[in-house]
Every structure is written in C-alpha cells, then in structure tokens.
A and B are shown apart, each in its own frame.
Chain A
Amino acid sequence: GESVGLHLPTLSVQEGDNSIINCAYSNSASDYFIWYKQESGKGPQFIIDIRSNMDKRQGQRVTVLLNKTVKHLSLQIAATQPGDSAVYFCAENALNQAGTALIFGKGTTLSVSS
C-alpha cells in the first residue's frame, strides 16, 4: 500500500551541528506534508508544513525541502540543541481535503549530545 517512510530510524548528532532528517513518500496525489516532533510521553507537535506547490519553506531554525520528482521530503535543523532530541515524523495529507487522515511515516529518533 501507499505509505510515508523515513530513511533512517536513528540519527545522532553533536550539539551545534546541523541535522537532516529524510522522508520518502509514495503517493503522488499527496499535496500537503507536515513534520511533527514527538517527545517522550507526549503527542506529536507541529514543526513545519509545506504544500506541493513549493519546494522549500523555512521556519525558525528549521527548513523543509520537498522534491516532488523523487517524492522526497527532508527536515533540516540548524544548530541542533539537546532540546531537539525527540522522534521526528513526516506525515502527508492524502486527498487535498480538510478533515482527511494524516499518514505518518515510521519516525526518526534524533539524539543530540552536548
């Protein structure tokens, strides 16, 4: 079936490094993508989103890149901090409609050491 997935289950970086978390999706009809951060014992927390008519979007210390040609999504975190340690999920909205399911990938666990 169609799914959203991540390339690496874990990523370990040093404080201050830049982190890149990748995601591959397979549904060509998806036109909205979100990165969520999930800390231990908490619900997913919105980080940044991007629509398919864009290929890059920047937030505070985070950048999301979308390559529709190869169905690839990435999250870049600049100057990674210990507080960034969490599981990161990409998710897609499958039908370009409000109120439809988000399909989540399996998650990448980011560990930041100081």
Chain B
Amino acid sequence: EPEVTQTPSHQVTQMGQEVILRCVPISNHLYFYWYRQILGQKVEFLVSFYNNEISEKSEIFDDQFSVERPDGSNFTLKIRSTKLEDSAMYFCASSENLGPNEQFFGPGTRLTVL
C-alpha cells in the first residue's frame, strides 16, 4: 500500500538555526500539505501546495516558513530561524486532485528546538 514517508523522524536543533523537514508524498498525488501538532494539542494546518505553488496557507505559516518541491518526489518544509515554540510534530500529507478527498498523512517529524 502506498504511503507518505518523512525524514528525519526526530530533529533536534538550536534556536535560530535553519531546519529542513523532508517528505515523499504518494506518487500519483498532486496536492501536498504540511500540518503541525504541538504536544497534546490538535493538528493545525500550515500550508497546501499544488502545481508548484502555495494554494493556501494559515496564519502560522509566516515568513520564517517556506515549502518547495525540489524534484519529482520530495516535498520540503524549511524553517529559516527556529524558535522554541516551533517545537512540535510536523506532518506531511498528500491527496489526489478530484474533489474534497482523503488526505494521507505521513508518520511525522518531531522537531525539538533547544
């Protein structure tokens, strides 16, 4: 069964450092997403991406965040200068392109900012 994969599973970084979280969406999917989940809280939408551009983003997704699809398989989330409050689980998801439909989630990357 196809699945979304994410690397690394756990990333520890110092405050102010840049991090790049990586995702490989399901191969025939065209919509890609990043969500985050602060420990013990609900999953929050960050950004959606289609046709090599951002289609929607939340208030959380400020200028410190960027996304990229550098090749035909990877989808990345970059945080330029991490803050303590960026510590969270970051989930990548992907979906097909026909109407509202299931978004498949990856296992997540746990980001710890010290």
CB-based contact B105/A100 at 8 Å: no
CB-based contact B42/A102 at 8 Å: no
CB-based contact B44/A104 at 8 Å: yes
Binds B, one of A14-22, A56-64, A89-97: A89-97
CB-based contact A100/B48 at 8 Å: yes
- Identify the closest chain B residue to A107 (Cβ): B42
CA of A107 to CA of B103 in the docked complex: distance in angstroms? 17
CB of B31 within 8 Å of the partner chain = yes
CB-based contact A89/B42 at 8 Å: yes
Q: Which of A41, A42, A100, A105 has the most CB of B within 10 A?
A: A100
CB-based contact A100/B42 at 8 Å: no
Q: Which residues of B contact A (CB under 8 A)?
A: 4, 30-31, 33, 35, 41-45, 48, 50, 55-56, 58, 91, 93, 95-108
Q: Which residues of A contact B (CB under 8 A)?
A: 31-32, 34, 36, 41-46, 49, 51, 89, 91, 93, 96-107
The 26 listed contacts between A and B (C-beta, < 8 Å) are A32-B101, A41-B107, A42-B107, A43-B93, A44-B91, A46-B102, A49-B101, A49-B102, A51-B100, A89-B42, A96-B99, A97-B99, A98-B31, A98-B95, A98-B96, A98-B98, A99-B50, A99-B97, A101-B48, A101-B56, A101-B58, A102-B45, A103-B45, A104-B42, A104-B45, A106-B42
